[in-house]
């Protein structure tokens, strides 16, 4: 009975840990010589987006989220843009193995045959990475890149769309460089 309770508690702790890892870790890099205030318009860079190795539905979700974020920042979508937007997306399966040994107790440090065991728990999760590249349209040079890494939840379409929005929002929070919104 104790073994079953301990196993259940351990499984709950592991599940809680996995779901608490839902935040997106973000880093950004940029050209310090660029004046980002001069960029007012954008368009999507089709050759770069076509290379992204994700399905077209997820591409459209990501692009809509980026478009919404840029418009909220005061940008305008244009046929003659200042910035070209490209994406790179990838995912990988992570396997975590938890080996938990618990031993019995008896007289002093003796052996107790009713409370002894080894509990292994194997869990898998999908970790995704999304890069958003902003390219100076005139110079055709990368001027800013934001990367978000986090766990993906693909249990249903609504959760998937919300997770994509969260990735894009977190990445775009650090654009333009020096912005204080966190």
In this predicted structure, what is the pLDDT of residue 17? 42
Look at residues 93, 161, 175, 162 and name the one whose alpha carbon lies nearest to residue 131.
Answer: 175
Chain segment 108-166, per-residue pLDDT in tens = 455 555 555 556 677 776 788 999 999 999 999 999 999 999 887 767 888 889 999 99
DSSP state of 178: T
Please give the residue that has the higher pLDDT: either 95 or 105: 95
| Torsion of Cα atoms, 57 then 63 then 68 then 69, to 10° | 130
Chain segment 23-62, per-residue pLDDT in tens = 899 999 999 999 999 999 999 999 999 988 888 999 999 9
pLDDT at 168 over 90: yes
pTM of the model: 0.72
- Yes or no: say if 29 and 145 are a contact pair by the CB < 8 Å rule: yes
User: CATH says 21-95+124-172 is which class?
Assistant: alpha beta
| Torsion of Cα atoms, 170 then 43 then 133 then 67, to 10° | 10
Look at residues 117, 113, 122 and name the one whose alpha carbon lies nearest to residue 102.
Answer: 117
pLDDT at 87 over 70: yes
pLDDT at 70 over 70: yes
pLDDT at 180 over 70: no
pLDDT at 93 over 60: yes
In this predicted structure, what is the pLDDT of residue 94? 73
| Two structure tokens written together for 99 | 């080996």
In the block, tokens 């980002």 appear at 36
């Amino acid at each position: 009975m104790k073994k079953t309770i301990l196993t259940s508690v351990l499984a709950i702790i592991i599940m809680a840990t996995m779901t608490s890892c839902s935040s997106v870790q973000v880093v950004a890099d940029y050209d310090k010589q660029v004046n980002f205030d001069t960029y007012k318009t954008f368009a999507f860079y089709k050759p770069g987006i076509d290379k992204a190795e994700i399905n077209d539905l997820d591409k459209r979700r990501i692009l809509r989220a980026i478009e919404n974020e840029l418009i909220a920042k005061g940008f305008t979508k244009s046929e003659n843009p200042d910035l070209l937007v490209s994406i790179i997306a990838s995912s990988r399966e992570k396997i975590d193995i938890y080996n938990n040994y618990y031993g019995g107790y008896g007289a002093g440090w003796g052996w107790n045959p009713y409370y002894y065991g080894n509990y292994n728990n194997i869990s898998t999760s999908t970790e995704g990475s999304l890069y958003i590249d902003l390219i100076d349209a005139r110079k055709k040079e990368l001027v800013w890149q934001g990367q978000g890494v986090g766990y993906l939840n693909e249990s249903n379409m609504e959760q998937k769309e919300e997770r994509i929005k969260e990735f894009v929002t977190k990445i775009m929070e650090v654009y333009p460089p020096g912005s204080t919104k966190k």
